[in-house]
Amino acid sequence: MQAASLPANEAERLAALYALLILDTPPDQRFDKIVEFAASEFEVPIALLTLVDRERQWFKARVGLAVCETGRDISFCGHAILAQDIMVVPDALEDPRFADNPLVTGEPGIRFYAGAPLTLPSGAALGTLCLIDRRPRTLDAMELGILSTLRDLAVLELSGREAAKEDADA
Amino acid sequence: MPDSALHMLLVEPETLLRRTVSLTARSLGLGQVHEAASIEAARRLLEQRGFDGAVIAVDCVEHEGQRRYDMTLVEQVRQGLTLSAAEMPIAIMAEQATPELVKELQGRHISRLILKPFRAKVLLEAIADFSGKRPH
């Protein structure tokens, strides 16, 4: 298993994440709706809106998973936030980065992963909107476009939160 | 989106589905999707400009003791009462293909019937078929 390296802007990324005051907050219908829509649209058992903290990934919204966080060292999203665009892992068992990952070999048994980084206008990738399946699969161009749009809508909600906080601080 | 882009009308009350289809169509270059959350809003849009195609969600409503689907928008287009070509392609979204619905669709030259669960991809494929552009 290969743990993801840290983004070059890790300090700024974490500062932007903490400034949103969103970690460990209660469920929010705006984000819940997006992951529920994604799970239904792509017919995947698991869809998450993840925020990558210093040593964990925490799920702001989730479908199909009981836990609300996992370690960053075993997270797929730690890799996805390094990518410029959507990271697709068609079959985790065939990918040396993830083949022996405990999230692949054990519960929830990840085989397919697609993570769209939640990148703020500042360039800070806070986490992902991701799809997970227990069987190998791929996404075609239209599906990638849909996932990208849902990610953009989630980022808009996050940016709105950022703007609202700036207004409150002013 | 250039002026030469095709203009599609999407009539669908669910905001997230509507926004997802509209924004994805634009990003994939399938055309500009104009959104209407209701038949009334769609009617106003049809009075303002012409469209190259439409995807319309229809509800089953009680009318004089009978269950009927609201086809007034489709009828308006087909009778040439809007700024769009009377023969423009139209796809209909409905909960299920009931005998009442099939009867309503007959003779109205509907290009496609889309049933629940509504997926953005299916709506985008309908729009792509109207525009002749399918992403690879």
Nearest C-alpha in A relative to B28: A145
Cis peptide before A108 (omega within 30 of 0): yes
pLDDT score recorded for residue A162: 62
Enter the tokens of residue A129.
């909107």
| CB pair distance less than 8 Å for A37 and B125 | no
Q: What is the C-alpha to C-alpha distance for residues A91 and A99, in angstroms, rounded to an integer?
A: 9
Structural domain span for residue A21:
10-162
Q: How many CB pairs under 8 A join A and B?
A: 46
A37 vs B124: CB contact, 8 Å cut-off? no
Instruction: Say whether residue B110 is in contact with chain A using an 8 A CB cutoff.
Output: no
Please, which pLDDT band fits residue A143 given cuts at 50, 70 and 90? Answer: very high
Q: What confidence tier does A164 reach under pLDDT thresholds 50, 70, 90?
A: low
Residue B135 lies in a domain: no
What domain range includes position B122? Answer: 7-130
Q: Which two tokens stand for residue A88?
A: 């697709």
Instruction: Give the CB-side neighbour count of residue B96, counting CA atoms within 13 A.
Output: 2
How far apart CA B97 and CA B120 sit, in angstroms, is 19
Q: What is the pLDDT of residue A96?
A: 95
| pLDDT at residue B65, rounded to an integer | 76
Residues of chain B short of pLDDT 50, as ranges, are: none
Q: What is the pLDDT of residue B69?
A: 85
**Total domains in the fold of chain B:** 1
How large is the average pLDDT for residues A27-39?
97
Domains identified in chain A, total number: 1
Residue B42 lies in a domain: yes
- DSSP-derived letter for residue B25 is H
pLDDT at A63 over 90: yes
A43-56 mean pLDDT: 98
d(CA A127, CA A4): 13
A141 pLDDT tier (thresholds 50, 70, 90): very high
User: A4 lies in a domain?
Assistant: no
Q: Do B16 and A37 touch (CB under 8 A)?
A: yes
Residues forming beta bridges with residue B57, ordered by sequence position: B93
Per-residue tokens: A154: 């989630």
Dihedral over Cα of B2, B27, A34, A152: its sign: negative
The pLDDT value recorded for residue A75 is 96
Q: Do A142 and B119 touch (CB under 8 A)?
A: no
Does residue B48 sit within a domain?
Answer: yes
| DSSP-based three-state secondary structure for A67 | coil
Alpha helices in chain A (DSSP H): 10-19, 29-42, 77-80, 102-105, 141-169
- Answer whether 0.90 is exceeded by the pTM: yes
Computed over every residue of chain A, the mean pLDDT equals 94
Q: Which of residues 125-144 of A touch B (CB under 8 A)?
A: 140-143
A169 domain-assigned: no
d(CA A116, CA A98): 18
CATH number of domain containing B118? 3.40.50.2300
The predicted pLDDT at position A168 comes to: 66
Binding-face residues of A in 93-132 toward B, CB within 8 A: none
pLDDT in tens, A82-94: 999 999 999 999 9
**CA B68, CA B58: separation in Å to the nearest integer?**
10
Asked if the Cβ–Cβ distance from A141 to B121 is below 8 Å, we say: no
Distance separating the N- and C-terminal Cα atoms of chain A: 46
Domain presence at residue B54: yes
Q: Kindly report the CATH number assigned to the domain that includes residue A90.
A: 3.30.450.40
For the stretch A1-12, pLDDT in tens is 788 999 999 999
* Cβ–Cβ under 8 Å, residues A1 and A100: yes
A79 to chain B, minimum CA–CA distance in Å? Answer: 25
